[in-house]
Structures are given as C-alpha cells and as structure tokens.
Amino acid sequence: MSDDISLFHTRMRKPAVIALVFGLTLGFLAVGTQRMMGGAGQSLPVGIALGLLAAAFLYGIMYRNLSQHIAQEE
C-alpha cells in the first residue's frame, strides 16, 4: 500500500459517513439548544451549515489519522 491515500479512497467511506452523521447532529444540537433555552434561535439552514462545517473538520481529522496509520504500517 502506498504512503499517500486520497480523500476519496475506499477506506475513507465509513469515516465520511460517520463524520457527516456526527457533524449534522452537532449542528442540529447547536440550533435546537438555542431554541429550547431562549425561544428564538437560529434557522434550520444555519444548523445544516454548522453541521457540514463540523463534518468537514471531523473528516479531516479522520483522514489525517488514517494516513498516518498507513504510513506507519510500511
């Protein structure tokens, strides 16, 4: 196996789904908590945008960890 894997490597499919689910969950929690505590919170598209941003960061961290793990295997 090579040292370099792409962002679209087959081993990155499961981490992508995990990052997307957890990121969107975090986005919905951020918006939902504001609505429950204050009555008026951010709109749903803001929650989706925050969730996708969180998912991108989580995916980046998982990609970095997997690429380091693959580099150490060789």
Each residue's pLDDT tens digit, 29-71 = 888 887 777 777 677 888 888 889 999 999 889 888 888 887 7
Residue 58 within any structural domain of the chain = yes
Residue 64 within any structural domain of the chain = yes
Residue 40 within any structural domain of the chain = yes
Total number of domains constituting the chain: 1
66 close to 5: Cβ distance less than 8 angstroms? yes
- Structural domain including 57 reads 13-68
Residue 35 within any structural domain of the chain = yes
pLDDT band at 22 (very low <50, low <70, confident <90, very high): very high
Q: What is the pTM of this model?
A: 0.73
* Rounded-to-integer distance, Cα 10 and Cα 14, Å: 8
Residue 25 within any structural domain of the chain = yes
Residue 2 within any structural domain of the chain = no
